[in-house]
């Protein structure tokens, strides 16, 4: 028996190495072509936290491009915005800023009161803006996304997937290139107040130039990280980091592997990824991120499997 196990061990190790990676959802792609370099659980629904603001910003950029809004459009902090109470600018109701300043705040500090304020400025009410968010998601083909607010504070019914975040990120990069530098700002000042970004790759990882981070207990630490080297841009989506800095470590590792050629690619584009017939409920990371419980093995690490992905079914 021992001799048989010894003979089979090399083959067993090769099989194990080919198994799909364990860990939270992760996806690496090239925005220019849509080519997917790596995908793990791309259709697993996940609470997005402040990655929600990518859609908030997408709609603002679209309104500006269509002339519905201007960078100098006034944005007023309402009583409803003040009541949000978590990661805010802390300004009193009635404070007025320009939309361009609000965009800087959203791409850096990610202030939730300002997300409410811009939603009201753009659509008249937060509820009307959320309707636009869901309509836009449907138009972009984000089939596993549902928005309940414009900021990302936890709502059990608000979710996205790594694939949908990639679709939104790609659409934003392709449609609004003049606004992309705003995501590369690590810190700035608005009305004399410092606003610092949360993306720890900026200024530390070669070529890092955006996009957005997000964190709430139920989501863990999320990131959609962009970097450009030699004219080639890559984006890594990492969802469910277990601690501060974890998402940047993993995203940086994925991006480095993409630029070096270690990630050989899947032969698929974002549109080719095979969507499962049924989608599970979003994973709740609160017990592991904020309550000290040990996460299951499948959430404890993010590997880089090169196992082939299934081709889309004809009905997809």
Report the Cα 300 to chain-centroid distance in Å: 19
Structure tokens at 178: 């003049």
Judge whether 162 and 41 are in contact, CB under 8 Å.
yes
Q: 110 an active-site residue?
A: yes
Q: Is 113 in contact with 97 (CB distance < 8 Å)?
A: no
Annotated catalytic residue, options 78, 110, 182, 226: 110
What are the backbone angles phi and psi of residue 204, rounded to the nearest 5°?
-120, -30
- Determine whether 53 is an active site residue: yes
Neighbour-count burial of 274, counting CB atoms closer than 10 A to its CB (0-12 exposed, 13-18 middle, 19+ buried): middle
Using only C-alpha atoms, what is the Rg of the chain? 20
Say how many C-beta atoms besides its own lie within 10 A of residue 176's C-beta: 17
Indicate the helix (H) or strand (E) that contains 239.
strand 232-241
Would you give the DSSP letter of residue 152?
-
Q: From the candidates 50, 78, 182, 226, which is the catalytic residue?
A: 50
Cβ–Cβ contacts within 10 Å for residue 297, how many? Answer: 9
Q: Which DSSP state fits 172?
A: H
- Cα–Cα distance, 196 to 206 (Å, whole number): 20
- Rounded Cα distance between 182 and 185, Å, is 6
* Contacts of 145 by beta carbon, 8 Å cutoff, 6+ apart: 134, 137, 159, 160, 161, 164
* Choice among 53, 78, 182, 212 that is catalytic: 53
- Active-site positions read 50, 53, 110
């Amino acid at each position: 028996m021992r001799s048989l196990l010894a003979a089979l061990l090399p083959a067993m190790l090769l099989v194990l190495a080919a198994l799909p990676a364990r860990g939270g959802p992760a996806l690496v792609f090239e925005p220019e072509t849509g080519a997917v370099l790596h995908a793990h659980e791309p259709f697993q629904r996940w609470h997005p936290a402040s990655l929600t603001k990518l859609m908030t910003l997408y709609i603002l950029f679209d309104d500006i491009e269509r002339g519905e809004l201007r960078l100098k459009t006034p944005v007023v902090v309402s009583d409803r915005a003040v009541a949000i109470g978590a990661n805010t600018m802390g300004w009193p109701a009635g404070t007025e800023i320009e939309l361009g300043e609000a965009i800087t705040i959203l791409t850096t500090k990610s202030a939730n009161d300002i997300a409410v304020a811009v939603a009201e400025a753009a659509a008249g009410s937060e509820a009307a803006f959320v309707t636009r968010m869901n309509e836009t998601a449907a138009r972009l083909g984000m089939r596993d996304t549902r928005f309940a607010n414009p900021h990302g504070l936890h709502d059990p019914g608000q979710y996205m997937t790594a694939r949908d975040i990639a679709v939104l990120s790609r659409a934003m990069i392709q449609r609004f290139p003049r606004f992309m530098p705003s995501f590369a700002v690590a810190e700035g000042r608005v009305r004399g107040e410092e606003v610092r970004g949360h993306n720890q790759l900026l200024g530390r990882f070669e070529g890092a130039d955006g996009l957005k981070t997000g964190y709430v207990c139920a989501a863990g630490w999320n990131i959609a990280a962009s970097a450009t080297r030699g004219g080639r841009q890559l984006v890594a989506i990492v969802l469910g980091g277990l601690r501060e800095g974890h998402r940047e470590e993993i995203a940086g590792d994925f991006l480095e592997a993409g630029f070096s050629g270690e990630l050989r690619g899947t032969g698929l584009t974002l549109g080719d990824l095979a969507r499962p017939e049924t989608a599970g409920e979003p994973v709740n990371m609160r017990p592991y991120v904020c309550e000290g419980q040990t996460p299951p093995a499948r959430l404890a690490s993010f590997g880089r499997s090169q196992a082939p992905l299934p081709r889309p079914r004809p009905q997809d």
